[in-house]
Structure 1
């Protein structure tokens, strides 16, 4: 079964449903990024402080304590599961588009690698491997770019590309 370009042939109601789903998903995704920015300023030292605390810094404006094992496992577990579902659904929709195959495959696979590197990196940072804060930033950036490019591609395909009759 050929699904390449199938999105063009979907009824308006299904296209509308996909558009609403992608929009709400994007609000949630970028809302989460806003939270990350608020808690870490997306800076290596702040990421480290967020998970490892700053009890030793007497000049700290806000005192933070190292996450305990239950907290860190909850963060990692919950995010790996939920982000996997988010990117699986996004990838299924992306698979029906007619964008460049290599780009499409990259956008479908890369987020899963970034999920493991980002949230596995958070766990490894918590375990004391401090250089993983840089892996977290790079992989999180790739995950966000992949999400944004996939969403823009899907919306473009839904709204701008017309179904060509053969």
Structure 2
């Protein structure tokens, strides 16, 4: 799975465009990550309460109610579409990186699988399969780890100096 072209062969302007894209993409991704932390406290219970509510918890600091079906479908629809495009583009960039084949394939495919597991898991949890909150959390961690690794690898290889340039 090797292309003949690598980041070293890209024109400087294209490297700058990709670098700027990675920075803006990361700001957007981690803003969303911050929102998830605010709404779920990054815990399985917080994830469940965010979608199923916590009306039964009389000691809850913030009262939350079960999300209606239309809102759930909108959340799942928009996130699966947008995140699949994000990880398709990022996977395309990873394809130009010099990496072992197994790592390259993992970074290209794992986040797409995690998108399905995370948002499919959210819907299943909302539908009554409460154990899916753990699948959602684990797949979210894997998706974020893949995102960070992919961005760091692409960014480092994008601006790595060739020995011929020195």
Normalised TM-score (structure 1): 0.94
Moved over 4 A (4+): none
In structure 2, the residue matched to 1:17 is: 17
Aligned-pair RMSD on alpha carbons? 1.7
Cα distance in 2 for partners of 1:66, 1:115 equals: 22
Report the counterpart of residue 72 of structure 1 in structure 2. Answer: 72
Separation (CA, whole Å) in 2 of partners of 1:51 and 1:18:
36
Are 2:87 and 1:84 aligned?
Answer: no
The corresponding residue for 1:136 is 136
User: 1:80·1:116 contact (CA, 8 Å) conserved in 2?
Assistant: yes
More divergent stretch after superposition (156-165 vs 46-55): 156-165
With structure 2 as the length reference, what TM-score do the two structures score?
0.94
Query: How far off is 1:72 after superposition?
Result: 0.5
Alignment check: 8 A CA contact 1:4 1:97 kept: no
Structure 1: stretches of 5+ with no match in the other structure: none
Matched, 1:56 2:56: yes
| Deviation of 1:5 (Å) | 4.8
CA positional deviation for 1:3: 2.1
2-side partners of 1:86 and 1:51: how far apart? 24
Superposition deviation, residue 93 in structure 1: 0.9
1:119 is matched with 119
Matched length: 165
Can you list the C-alpha shifts for 1:19-69, whole angstroms capped at 9, x where unaligned? Answer: 000110011011100000011011011111000001111221211100000
Cα distance in 2, alignment partners of residues 66 and 82 from structure 1: 24
Measured against aligned partners, the alpha-carbon deviations of 1:123-160 in whole angstroms (never above 9, x if no partner) come to 00000100000000100000000000000000110112
